[in-house]
């Protein structure tokens, strides 16, 4: 066999798994996990709060509130998060609003998922038996007390598992933030791999990390669902 053919055979041979590359990546990995969890926590907070605002606005007595909110949430829900992310990241500075990539990412993910959580809240509110509304009216409870003391406590209990599912969906969408340069898990892995050319280790560790976070979370949500809803 000639030297050149031996070289090409060696080049075609896939690289073996390198544990040293995994340990080199670990410090960046933990930093990435922290950023991912930060995005997830703040994104969830925004989506839960804003989702409730949308859900209440969609039930407002005035159609001048219901209609624009309905259109806006429908539009956000039917367009990709990645393009929304680019829109906010590149357009807001043109309008004089400057956020860091991380803040933009958190706002985008929170805003996007708020349109989904709004649907969840809506289903939860619709699920409260009509008798509860009638009882509140019979007790002459004011409008805001009917919501805060009677309807919402019952609705929120029903929607907790569904909201949990969206937290997992959000977790799996956090890698999109790599598109605007946020140093979350995927972006850390990508940078590390670009430096060392060892894509296998970094990207596999990130993939496994997602499964290890998402699967126990979905088990937890299933048990919550059994306890709270049934």
Partner 1 sequence: MTVGLWQNWVLPGIWITLQLTVYSAALATAVAFGVGIARTHRLKTVRFLAGLYTEVFRGTSALVLMFWLFFVMPQLVGWSLVPMWAAVLALGLSYGAYGAEIVRGALGAVAPAQREAGVALSFTPWQRLRLILLPQAVPEMIPPFCNLLIELLKGTALVSLLGIGDVSFAAYLVRLATQDSAQIYGITLVIYFVIAFALTRGMKALERRAKAGVGKAPAAMGVGGGTA
Give whichever of 14 and 131 is closer to partner 1, judged by the CB atom: 14
Nearer Cβ to partner 1 (41/71): 71
Place of tokens 């357009």: 91
At closest approach, how far in Å is the CB of 218 from partner 1? Answer: 8
Looking at beta carbons, which pairs linking 65-70 to residues 24 or more positions away fall under 8 Å? none
In the complex, minimum distance from the CB of residue 172 to partner 1, in angstroms, rounded to a whole number = 4
Calculate the CA 181 to chain-centre distance.
17
Q: Is position 195 an interface residue for partner 1 (rule: CB under 8 A)?
A: no
Range 45-84, binding partner 1 (CB under 8 A):
75, 78-84
Residue 132 or 200: the one with the smaller Cβ distance to partner 1 is: 200
Considering Cα of 44, then 45, then 49, then 54, what sign does the dihedral take? negative
Tell me which H or E stretch contains 208.
helix 199-228
Quickly list DSSP for 18-64: -HHHHHHHHHHHHHHHHHHHHHHHHHHHHHHHHHHHHHHHHT-S-HH
Please measure the distance between the N-terminal and C-terminal CA atoms of the chain and give it in whole angstroms.
70
Q: Site map for partner 1, 165-184, x if CB under 8 A?
A: -------xxxxx-xx-----
Report the distance separating Cα 206 and Cα 229, nearest Å: 33
14 lies in the site for partner 1, by CB under 8 A: yes
211: contact with partner 1 by CB under 8 A: yes
Using CB under 8 A as the binding rule, whether residue 199 contacts partner 1 is answered as: yes
Q: Contact residues for partner 1 (CB under 8 A)?
A: 12-15, 75, 78-84, 86-87, 90-91, 94-95, 172-176, 178-179, 186, 190, 193, 198-200, 203-204, 206-207, 210-211, 214-215, 218
């Amino acid at each position: 066999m000639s030297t050149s053919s031996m070289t090409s055979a060696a080049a075609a041979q896939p690289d073996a798994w390198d544990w040293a590359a995994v340990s080199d990546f670990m410090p960046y990995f933990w930093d990435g996990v922290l950023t991912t969890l930060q995005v997830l926590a703040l994104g969830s907070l925004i989506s839960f709060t804003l989702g409730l605002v949308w859900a209440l606005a969609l039930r407002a007595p005035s159609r001048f509130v219901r209609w624009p909110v309905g259109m806006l949430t429908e539009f956000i829900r039917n367009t990709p998060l990645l393009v929304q992310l680019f829109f906010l990241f590149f357009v807001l500075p043109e309008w004089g609003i400057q956020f860091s990539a991380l803040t933009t990412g958190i706002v985008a993910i929170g805003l996007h998922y708020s349109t989904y959580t709004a649907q969840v809240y809506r289903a939860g509110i619709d699920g409260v038996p009509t008798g509860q509304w009638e009882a509140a009216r019979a007790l002459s409870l004011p409008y805001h007390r009917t919501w805060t003391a009677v309807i919402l406590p019952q609705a929120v209990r029903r929607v907790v598992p569904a909201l949990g599912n969206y937290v997992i969906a959000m977790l799996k969408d956090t890698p999109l933030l790599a598109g605007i340069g946020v140093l979350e898990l995927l972006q850390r892995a990508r940078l590390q791999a670009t430096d060392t050319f060892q894509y296998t280790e970094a990207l596999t560790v990130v993939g496994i990390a997602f499964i290890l976070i998402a699967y126990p979370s979905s088990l937890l949500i299933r048990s919550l669902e059994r306890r709270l809803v049934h």
